[in-house]
Every structure is written in structure tokens, then in C-alpha cells.
Amino acid sequence: MKSFLLSVIGLLCVFFQLSCLAEIAPDIQKIIIRGKLIVAITNKDYFPFFFHNSKNELEGFDIEIAAKIATHLGVKLEINSSATSFNAVVDQVENDAADIGMGALSATLQRGLHVAFSTPYLKENKVLLINRVLDLKLEENDLSVKEDQLKFAVIKNSSYESFLKQNFYTISKYANPNRVVAYDVQENAMKDLMTGKIYALFTDEIKANSLLKNLPSANIYLKKRVIDGQTDPISLAVNLKNQTLLNWINLFVENFADSGARNVLSQKYLKGLR
């Protein structure tokens, strides 16, 4: 009799859970039934948003946001870091290989044709890191500056590659779409920048400050120039058909800011970088 009662109670619990799930929209229901939230980021560390610490554990500003989202949904977090570029993260969301795409992901008009973007949870200035010597020579009309030194570095397949090629005239008077050089890793661009092989690196202010902080000597050779009136909206991406999930994430972003949680994470990961 006891086992029978336990079976009946178990079935009632299952029916109750199913009835509760039936009231949740299908796009969120799918995540809850699966028991995990799949979040796509790139396979290269992008400090301070996501990076491997001394224990080879993945952490960062965006990793903690993803963990909070999973906790609120009552599921586990799975990070899919197989994407080789930021655009590939968008592709994974579009193809349903991930529920959410994030990791310093810029909301652009082109990407917006393929995925839906949340309300930005950060807005960063766009900046140029410029070689001081080359810049001084250019301002003094020094003819020793070679044409192939007037290059602008960006990360390959990133939003900044598109920004620079499409809006080069608003970035710098020396910018030109034919002068864009795409690097796989920003640190490699920094080496060429510091030695005067290229003129500037175009990136966001957090990353620029991080690069300068990790390479103290860079402050001797480089200077930062904020692009007036231009910001980079950092957002979360979801599949276009998952509108309820998008609405819920927008609510999460609003609460994330209002509750003070964003300030706590900013103090932990972004202090001195904004």
C-alpha cells in the first residue's frame, strides 16, 4: 500500500510539473525540459568578458551573466566555445546550435538580419590605439611614412571589421577600406602596432584599456583616441523565432542593471578598464 501511495504521489508531481510547463512558452519550455542552457562564445579568450584563469577554468563578466540566466531558468549552464569568430557565434544561434550567443557580442544591423538582439547590457566607446611616432610624423607631413604603414588593424570577422570598412570616414582621416588588416588575435596586432608596422588598432575601450594594462610599455609607444559619438552595444543574441525568450532576457537585463548586480560584476571584472 505504501509503495502504491508513493507511486500515486510521484505521478501527481509529474502531472503538476507538466501542467506548469504547459503554461510556459515553447521556446523557454524547450530549455527547461532539456535541463540546460546552451550559450555560444568564441574559442579564443576575450578578457575580461570570458577567459581561462590559472586553474584553466572559464570565467569572466559574461560567463557570470550566463550562469545567472541559467539559475533563473532553473537549469544547468553549458558553454559552447566551438565558434572560431564572433560571426560564427551568430551562426550557431541562427542554426539552433545554441540558445543564446554572447561574449562581448556587438549588436549590428547585419547580424540583426539573422538573429534577434537583446537590450544592450553594456555600451562601450569605440577607440583607436595609435602609434605615437607615426601619428606625429603624419601631422608634420613627414614623407618618410610609407603607404603600407597606414594600416588599421581589426579582429577578423568581428563587428569592428564591418564598422571600419563601412564607416571609415568617421573613424580617422587616414582610414580607408583598402587599409584594413584583419588579425586572428589582437595581441598580434599590438606587436605590429608598437613596432610601427601599422598605424592603428580599432577596438572597444574595455579591450584597449586591457591591452594597455597588460603591456605597460605600450603606453610609451601608443595613445588611445576615443571616436566621438560612437558606441558599441554589447548584447545577447537569440534565434529570431524565440521571441518569448528574447522578451524574458530583456527583462533579465533590466533587472540585472536595477538590482545592482551589474555594478558588482563591473567592480570585479571591469574596474580600471572603463
pLDDT, average across residues 176-194: 92
What pLDDT score does 214 carry? 87
The fraction of the chain above a pLDDT of 90, given in percent, is 82
pLDDT of 1 over the 60 cut:
no
C-alpha cell at 108: 549590428
What pLDDT score does 7 carry? 46
What pLDDT score does 215 carry? 85
pTM for the model: 0.86
pLDDT of 113 over the 50 cut:
yes
pLDDT of 47 over the 60 cut:
yes
What pLDDT score does 6 carry? 41
pLDDT of 54 over the 80 cut:
yes
Q: Could you give the dihedral angle defined by the CA atoms of residues 85, 270, 119 and 91, in that order, rounded to the nearest 10 degrees?
A: 10
pLDDT of 62 over the 80 cut:
yes
The fraction of the chain above a pLDDT of 70, given in percent, is 92
Residue 87's pLDDT band, with cuts at 50, 70 and 90, is very high
C-alpha cell at 186: 589582437
Q: Name every residue whose Cβ is closer than 8 Å to that of residue 66 and which is 6 or more positions away in sequence.
A: 37, 39, 77, 79, 100, 102
What pLDDT score does 18 carry? 42
Q: What are the pLDDT digits (tens) for 121-159?
A: 999 999 999 999 999 999 999 999 999 999 999 999 899
Name the residue among 116, 119, 145, 113 with its Cα closest to residue 132.
145
Across the chain, mean pLDDT equals: 91
What pLDDT score does 15 carry? 41
Residue 187's pLDDT band, with cuts at 50, 70 and 90, is confident
Give backbone dihedrals phi and psi of 97, rounded to 5 degrees, phi first: -85, -10
DSSP secondary-structure letter at 36?
A: E
Q: What are the pLDDT digits (tens) for 4-25?
A: 444 434 433 334 344 445 579 9
What pLDDT score does 271 carry? 93
Q: What are the pLDDT digits (tens) for 241-265?
A: 999 999 999 999 999 999 999 999 9
Q: Are 69 and 205 in contact (CB under 8 A)?
A: no
Highest mean pLDDT among 22-36, 56-70, 181-195: 56-70
220 - beta bridge partners? none
Q: Name every residue whose Cβ is closer than 8 Å to that of residue 16 and which is 6 or more positions away in sequence.
A: none
